[in-house]
A and B are shown apart, each in its own frame.
Chain A
Amino acid sequence: MSDFIQTAEVTEAKQALDRLRASMRVSIKGKDDVIEQVLICLVAGGHLLIEDLPGVGKTTLAYALARSMDCTFSRIQFTSDLLPGDVTGVAIYDETTKEFVFKPGPIFASVVLADEINRATPKTQSALLEVMDRARVTVDGVAHAVGSPFMVFATQNPVDYEGTFPLPESQMDRFLMRLQMGYPQPADELEILRVARTAYDAIAQSAAVTRADVLRLQALVHQVFVEDSVLDYILRIVTATRSEAEFKAGVSVRGGLALRTAAQARALVHGRDFVLPDDVVELVTPILGHRLGLARQTSDALEERRAVITVLRRILAALTLPT
Chain B
Amino acid sequence: MTITADDHRTHGYTDLPRLMSLMSGDEKHGPAATSTLDVLWVLYDRVLRVTPERTQDPGRDRFLLSKGHGPMAYYAVLAAKGFLPVDWLPGFGGYDSPLGHHPDRLLVPGAEIGSGSLGHGLPIGAGTALGLRAQGLTDPAVWVLIGDAELDEGSNHEAIAFAGPAGLDRLHTVVVDNSSASHARPGGIAARFEAAGWSAATVDGRDHTALYEAFTAPHPGRPHVVVARVEPKNA
Genuine A/B complex: no
Residues of B that sit less than 8 Å from A by CB: none
